[in-house]
Amino acid sequence: MVKQLTVISGKGGTGKTTITSSFAALAENVVIADCDVDAADMHLVLHPDTFETNDFYGLKVASINKNMCVGCGNCATSCRFEAIGRYNVIDVYKCEGCAVCEYVCPVNAISMVEKKSGEYYCSHTRFGPLVHAKLGIGEEASGKLVSDVRRRASELASEAGSDMILIDGPPGTGCAVIAAITGTDLVLAVTEPTVSGIHDLERVIGVAQHFRIPVVVCINKYDINVELSHTISAYCKNNGICVVGMLPYNRIPVDAMVEGKSVMEYKENVFSSMIRSMWFEVSGRLLK
């Protein structure tokens, strides 16, 4: 059975990709999925060599045939998303593809059209196969694209007989995050000891628990505010959540990033040994 680990963080910029790419370097026989489809970063470290590109179609959008339109305005008054403006022009950013306008149009001037709203890719990397994506600007269905990325990653994992899928999740608590964690075996929430870090951690743990997925926590930059790090540890302990790692504030991740390397490949450093022990802890839980 392929095990799935999703790395998330309530707040962005806490070091998800740094940790996921390091885990990818440590793992054997793994498939990596970059599910931060809004702002995918993993490729900057993994330098993928793409062997497959797939078009992603999200929701359809309405299109009005001007020659047939009689200007009755039924579509505009029926649209709940205010996506149809004056002169019956459709605002594609507001259209949610519900097809109500198509239904109410008395002269069949409106049709729902397929719209390519992104791409997803399969690539070779030095750590194993990577599935990653690019969502078109302002596209709605990021959760659906995340699901597609995960589905393709599962297929690759079973083809290759991999025992783990490593998922770099998106920030937040909304549709993309829900799509990235549903059905996974473990969630690693990365946080930092700041007032916003704690706040977002609580919310994202809430999401994981809402979907009944086990969570462990990593506190990054713990020494920037030791007191708050203690508060986070205590919070986790009280909620039966294990803190699997505490990483110091250090410029190594940025320096490694500038060189396009994972922290594990960036000369011997304090950081890498800590990530290694965190990996043993996390993979031990996952594979047991």
Partner 1 sequence: MKIAIASGKGGTGKTTVAVNLALALGNAQLLDCDVEEPNCNLFLGFDLKKQEDVIITVPEVDSHKCSLCGKCAEFCQYNAIAKLPRSIMLFPKLCHGCGGCVLVCPENAITEKKRSIGIIEKGTNEYFNTELLQGTLNIGEPMASPVIRQLQAHIDESTVAIIDSPPGTACPVITSVAEMDYCVLVTEPTPFGLNDLILAVDVVRQLGVQFGVVINRHGIGDGKVEEYCRAEKIPILMKIPDDREIAVLYSKGIPFVEQMPLWKENFRELYRYICKFISYQGGF
Binding site for partner 1 (CB under 8 A): 9-14, 17, 38-39, 41, 44, 59-60, 78, 80-81, 93, 96-100, 103-104, 135, 137-140, 142-143, 170-178, 192-197, 199-200, 203, 206-207, 210-211, 224-225, 228, 249, 251, 254, 257-258, 260
Question: What are the residue ranges of helices labelled H in 27-172?
Answer: 42-46, 74-78, 100-104, 142-160
Question: Shortest Cβ distance from residue 274 to partner 1 (Å)?
Answer: 20
Question: Shortest Cβ distance from residue 10 to partner 1 (Å)?
Answer: 6
CB nearer partner 1, residue 254 or residue 287: 254
CB nearer partner 1, residue 54 or residue 81: 81
Question: Shortest Cβ distance from residue 96 to partner 1 (Å)?
Answer: 5
**Structural contact between residues 119 and 90, judged by C-beta atoms closer than 8 angstroms:** no
Inter-CA distances, 40 with 32, 47, 130, 220, 268, Å: 13, 12, 12, 20, 27
CB nearer partner 1, residue 12 or residue 284: 12
DSSP state of 268: S
Question: Shortest Cβ distance from residue 61 to partner 1 (Å)?
Answer: 11
CB nearer partner 1, residue 1 or residue 227: 227
Question: Shortest Cβ distance from residue 103 to partner 1 (Å)?
Answer: 6
Question: Shortest Cβ distance from residue 9 to partner 1 (Å)?
Answer: 8
CB nearer partner 1, residue 181 or residue 275: 181
CB nearer partner 1, residue 54 or residue 78: 78
Strands 61-64 and 110-113: antiparallel
CB nearer partner 1, residue 157 or residue 266: 266
> Can you tell me the distance from the alpha carbon of 75 to that of 106, in angstroms, rounded to the nearest whole number?
9
Maximum CA pair distance of the chain? 71
CA 273 to chain centre: 26
| Nearest one of 246, 34, 239, 45 to 148, comparing CA atoms | 34
Question: Shortest Cβ distance from residue 142 to partner 1 (Å)?
Answer: 5
Strands 49-57 and 215-219: unpaired
DSSP codes joined into one string, 36-100: -TTS--HHHHH--EEEEEEEEE-S-EEEE-TTT-----HHHHH-TT--B-GGG-B-TTT-----H
